[in-house]
C-alpha cells in the first residue's frame, strides 16, 4: 500500500519542437468529454430532432474559449500579487498551462457567451429553452472539472494542510509554501474536488428525470459550492482574504445561496418544462 501519493516529476513532455503540458492536455480531454456528453443529453432532451444536431458543438466553439479566458481573468484578479506584485511578472498571466483557471470566471463568461450563441442558433428553430441546454451540459462540465483538477496534480499545486494519511500527497521541497517547508505530505485537495465533481455529476444524471428546466444546472452550482467551501477551507496557498476568510470561500457562500434559491424557484414553477 502506498504511504503517500507522489507528485509527478514532470508536468510536460516534448515531441520534436512542441511541448505538451499535461495541465493543458487534461483541460482538452475534459472539454471533449463535456461536449460529447452534453450533446448526447441535449439531443435526448430535444427528442433527437434534426434541429438539435450540432447545436452543442456550435455553441462550444464560442463558449469554451470564453470560459478559459473568463477563468484566467478571475484567477488573475483574485491573485494579483503573482502578476502585479513586487515580484510578479505580468507576462505570466498568459501562461495558462502553468495552472490557474478560476471556475467562477469560466462559468460566468462561458455561460454568457453560450447564451448569446444559443439564442442566435435557436432563431426560427424549435429548440429547447436555454435552461434545458444548461441542464444538458451540467454533468459533462463536472466531469471536465474533475479531469482538469488532475492537471493540478502534474503541476504540484492545489494541495491543502499537512496530512500524513495513506492518501497524502507528497510535495517536493521547492513547491512547498513558506512556513510549511518542514512537512513532506499534504491533503490532496485537487483529488478531493475531482472526486466531489464526479459524485455530483452522477447524482445529477440520476436526478435528471425528476427535475424541471434549470434545476439541474442550479443544483450543480449549489452542490459544487458546498464541496468547494469545504475543500477551500483546507487550502494553505496564499490568497486574498475578506474579514479573515479567503475570497473563494465568500464566493462559494454567495453563489451557493443564489443557486439554491434558483433551484427552489424553478422547482415551484408549475409551467416550467419537466424532462
By the 10 Å C-beta count (0-12 exposed, 13-18 middle, 19+ buried), 164 is classed as exposed
pLDDT < 50 regions, the chain: 1
> Could you give the C-alpha distances from 158 to 75, 89, 111, 261, 263, in angstroms and in order?
13, 21, 25, 30, 30
What confidence score (pLDDT) does residue 141 get?
Answer: 96
Q: How far apart are CA 100 and CA 232, in angstroms?
A: 15
Residue-level pLDDT at 214: 94
d(CA 141, CA 144): 5
Q: How far apart are the first and last CA of the chain?
A: 45
Round to whole Å and give the CA distance between 255 and 222: 7
63 to 69, 208, 211, 221: CA distances (angstroms) = 10, 23, 25, 18
Using CB atoms within 10 Å of the CB of residue 273, give its burial: 0 to 12 exposed, 13 to 18 middle, 19+ buried: middle
CA 78/CA 63 separation, integer angstroms: 22
pLDDT recorded at residue 12: 84
SS (H, E, C) 55-118: HHHHHHHHHHHHHHHHHHHHHHHHCCHHHHCCCCCHHHHHCHHHCCCCHHHHHHHHHHHHHHHH
> Can you give the pTM of this predicted structure?
0.90
250 and 174 in contact (C-beta within 8 Å)? Answer: no
Cα(215)–Cα(127) distance, integer angstroms: 18
| H or E stretch at 18 | strand 18-21
Q: Nearest CA to 12 among 28, 3, 24?
A: 24
Distance CA 39, CA 56 (A): 5
The pLDDT score that the predictor gives to residue 171 is: 95
pLDDT score of 159: 93
Residue 1: the pLDDT is: 44
Give kind and range of the element (H or E) at residue 34: helix 22-45
Amino acid at each position: 500500500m502506498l504511504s503517500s501519493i507522489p507528485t509527478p516529476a514532470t508536468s510536460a513532455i516534448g515531441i520534436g519542437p512542441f511541448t505538451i503540458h499535461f495541465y493543458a492536455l487534461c483541460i482538452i480531454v475534459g472539454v471533449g468529454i463535456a461536449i460529447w456528453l452534453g450533446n448526447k443529453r441535449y439531443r435526448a432532451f430535444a427528442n433527437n430532432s434534426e434541429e438539435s444536431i450540432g447545436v452543442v458543438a456550435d455553441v462550444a466553439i464560442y463558449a469554451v474559449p470564453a470560459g478559459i479566458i473568463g477563468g484566467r481573468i478571475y484567477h488573475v484578479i483574485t491573485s494579483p500579487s503573482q502578476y502585479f506584485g513586487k515580484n510578479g511578472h505580468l507576462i505570466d498571466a498568459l501562461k495558462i498551462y502553468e495552472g490557474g483557471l478560476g471556475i467562477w470566471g469560466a462559468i460566468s463568461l462561458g455561460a454568457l457567451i453560450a447564451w448569446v450563441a444559443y439564442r442566435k442558433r435557436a432563431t426560427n428553430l424549435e429548440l429547447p429553452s436555454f435552461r434545458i441546454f444548461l441542464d444538458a451540459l451540467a454533468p459533462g462540465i463536472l466531469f471536465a472539472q474533475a479531469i482538469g483538477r488532475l492537471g493540478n496534480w502534474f503541476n504540484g499545486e492545489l494541495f491543502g494542510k499537512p496530512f500524513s494519511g495513506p492518501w497524502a500527497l507528497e510535495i517536493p521541497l521547492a513547491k512547498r509554501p513558506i512556513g510549511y517547508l518542514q512537512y513532506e505530505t499534504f491533503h490532496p485537495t485537487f483529488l478531493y474536488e475531482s472526486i466531489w465533481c464526479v459524485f455530483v455529476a452522477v447524482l445529477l444524471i440520476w436526478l435528471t428525470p425528476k427535475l424541471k428546466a434549470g434545476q439541474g444546472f442550479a443544483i450543480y452550482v449549489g452542490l459544487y459550492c458546498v464541496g468547494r467551501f469545504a475543500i477551500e477551507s483546507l487550502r494553505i496557498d496564499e490568497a486574498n482574504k475578506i474579514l479573515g476568510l479567503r475570497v473563494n470561500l465568500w464566493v462559494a457562500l454567495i453563489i451557493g445561496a443564489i443557486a439554491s434559491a434558483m433551484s427552489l424557484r424553478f422547482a415551484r414553477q408549475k409551467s416550467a418544462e419537466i424532462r
